């Protein structure tokens, strides 16, 4: 089968879990004998191969590259998002690519920067479209739906109107959690479109072992910002008067925000590791904390922790509770009382973590082979139709 995958970013750009998930999916499709092309955005045009996958990196056709470190003003951002809500500047590229490559399936994922007009081009050429919901781009220009004030809500609705209209061009809709799928459908997107949940897939490449030493080493890994709950986590630890715990924080952080966080909690029991490979990180900790304030579409790091046989305590936001259905007592309300209470249970009750369950049959639903097969079954069905 000939598959074109579109995602805003692709390796070597790795901002978050979506990029990892899309790359794993693309390479797994290829290993099963499918012909795969990936299209993503970049600061310049480029074409290359990565792990046998042909990558087309297209120079962004908007006012600026949004993934650099520059802070733009509100008006400049608004102008960028206005252009992005209906960006026709990629139409010629996609039309030529579709006519030349003749794909059986167009699989779109995060499409911020491309806009939904890629669906319009494919639909006119009768190419079957499967869209995977990995963020809230269709509803919110920031893609997060987090902490919107009244004005931001109005702007989001206006910018989302053409996206909602274009959503009916899709032939099949996939949600990476029940939460994100239901959230879009109840808000009027993808009316009448077939849909299902297909969880992100992971490569269980080797047996993992829990090297727990019972020393209360907690860990956080990922993007370090307020929506991810980093400030809440630091405030919660400040409420615990005990010297036995340690907190390791992994992820890139600029000095100004680091100084701000140290004003919240400057304990010597907290260590900032910077960027670190996730496998090395999980060997260093006993418990993963996922204190997200925003509604995570999935929560990839939760499954990574389960694969590494490390217990997880996580907030009840978005799709996260679906990943801990068999460990509900380790899910907390993301406020200071909620997180502090569960931290104290772990620190002051040595038996509490023993209740955490690692069940193979539950984890199997996230195996990449199962994920890929579910996608291929969808592809075959809609191509047949």
CB 238 within 8 A of CB 245: no
Number of domains in the chain: 2
Cα three-residue angle 46-51-53, rounded to 5 degrees? 55
Measured between alpha carbons, how far is 278 from 304 in angstroms, rounded to an integer?
Answer: 8
Q: Is residue 160 included in any domain, yes or no?
A: yes
State the pLDDT at residue 341.
Answer: 97
DSSP 124: H
Is 204 or 147 the better-scoring residue by pLDDT?
204
CA distance 65 to 380: 37
Q: Tell me, what's the pLDDT at 302? A: 97
26 and 13 in one domain? yes
Q: Assess whether pLDDT exceeds 90 at residue 338.
A: yes
Look over the chain and give the mean of its residue pLDDT values, rounded to a whole number.
Answer: 94
Which residue(s) pair with 367 in the sheet? 202
- pTM, to two decimals: 0.94
Nearest Cα residue to 323 out of 48, 115, 17, 91: 17
Instruction: Examine the pLDDT at 233 and tell me if it is beyond 90.
Output: yes
**Domain co-membership, 358 together with 378:** no
**Which of 44-48, 210-214, 306-310 bottoms out in mean pLDDT, i.e. has the lowest?**
210-214
Predicted pLDDT at 176:
98
What is the percent of the chain with per-residue pLDDT over 70, rounded to a whole number? 97
Please check whether residues 172 and 30 belong to one and the same domain: yes
Alpha helices, DSSP H, located in the chain:
17-31, 74-85, 91-101, 117-124, 150-166, 178-186, 230-237, 255-264, 278-284, 300-307, 320-323, 336-348, 360-363, 368-384
CATH number of the domain encompassing residue 331 = 3.40.50.2000
Mean pLDDT of 207-217: 66
Indicate if 189 and 248 belong to the same structural domain.
no
Contacts 24+ apart (CB under 8 A), 158-162: 159/81, 159/82, 159/85, 160/85, 161/85, 162/85, 162/86, 162/116
Instruction: Indicate whether 30 and 173 sit together in one domain.
Output: yes
> Residues of the chain with pLDDT > 90: what percent?
89
Do 378 and 321 share a structural domain? no
Contact (Cβ atoms closer than 8 angstroms) between residue 118 and residue 94: yes
- Domain housing 152: 2-201+368-384
**Quick one: 233 and 107 in the same domain?**
no
Looking at the predicted structure, is the pLDDT value of residue 212 above 60? Answer: no
Same domain, 225 and 340: yes
Considering the domain architecture, whether residues 355 and 327 belong to the same structural domain is answered as yes
pLDDT per position as a tens digit, 52-75 = 999 999 999 999 999 987 889 999
Which pLDDT value is given to residue 239?
Answer: 96
DSSP per-residue letters across 147-179: S--HHHHHHHHHHHHHHHHHGGG-SEEEESSHH
Question: What pLDDT sits at residue 152?
Answer: 86
- Contacts (Cβ under 8 Å, ≥6 apart) of 248: 217, 218, 219, 220, 271, 273, 281, 284, 285
Task: State how far the Cα of 339 lies from the Cα of 98, in Å rounded to an integer.
Answer: 50
Give the Å distances, CA to CA, from 88 to 8, 101, 323, 372: 16, 20, 38, 31
Question: Are residues 222 and 174 located together in one domain of the fold?
Answer: no
Judge whether 137 lies within some domain: yes
């Amino acid at each position: 089968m000939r598959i074109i995958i579109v995602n805003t970013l692709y390796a070597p750009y790795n901002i978050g879990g979506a990029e990892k998930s899309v790359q794993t999916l693309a390479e797994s499709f290829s290993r099963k004998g499918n012909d795969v092309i990936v299209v993503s955005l970049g600061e310049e045009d480029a074409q290359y191969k990565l792990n046998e996958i042909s990558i087309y990196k297209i120079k962004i056709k908007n006012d600026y590259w949004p993934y650099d470190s520059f802070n733009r003003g509100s008006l400049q951002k608004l102008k960028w998002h206005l252009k992005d809500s209906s960006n026709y500047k990629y139409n010629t590229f996609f039309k030529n690519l579709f006519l030349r490559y003749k794909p059986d399936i167009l699989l779109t994922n995060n499409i911020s920067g491309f806009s939904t007009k890629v669906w319009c081009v494919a639909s006119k050429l009768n190419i079957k479209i499967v869209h995977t919901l990995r963020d809230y781009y269709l509803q919110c220009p920031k893609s997060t739906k987090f902490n919107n004030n009244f004005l931001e809500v109005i702007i989001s609705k206006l910018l989302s109107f053409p996206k909602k209209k274009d959503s009916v061009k899709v032939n099949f809709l996939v949600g990476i959690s029940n939460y994100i799928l239901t959230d879009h459908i109840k808000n009027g997107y993808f009316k009448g479109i077939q849909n299902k949940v297909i969880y992100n897939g992971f490569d269980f490449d080797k047996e993992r072992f829990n090297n727990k030493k019972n020393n209360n080493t907690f860990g956080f890994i990922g993007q370090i910002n307020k929506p991810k709950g980093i400030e809440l986590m630091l405030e919660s630890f400040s409420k615990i008067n005990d010297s036995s715990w340690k907190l390791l924080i992994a992820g890139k952080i600029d000095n100004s925000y680091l100084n701000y966080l140290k004003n919240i909690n400057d304990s010597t029991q907290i260590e900032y590791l910077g960027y670190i490979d996730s496998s090395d990180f999980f060997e260093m900790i006993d418990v993963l904390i996922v204190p997200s304030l925003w509604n995570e579409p999935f929560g990839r790091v939760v499954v990574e922790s389960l694969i590494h046989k490390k217990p997880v305590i996580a907030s009840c936001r978005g799709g996260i509770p679906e990943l801990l259905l068999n460990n509900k007592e380790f899910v907390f309300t993301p406020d200071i009382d909620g997180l502090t209470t569960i931290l104290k249970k772990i620190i002051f009750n040595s038996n509490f973590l023993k209740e955490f369950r690692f069940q193979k049959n539950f984890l199997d639903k996230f195996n990449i082979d199962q994920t890929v097969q579910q996608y291929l079954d969808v592809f075959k069905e809609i191509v047949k139709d």
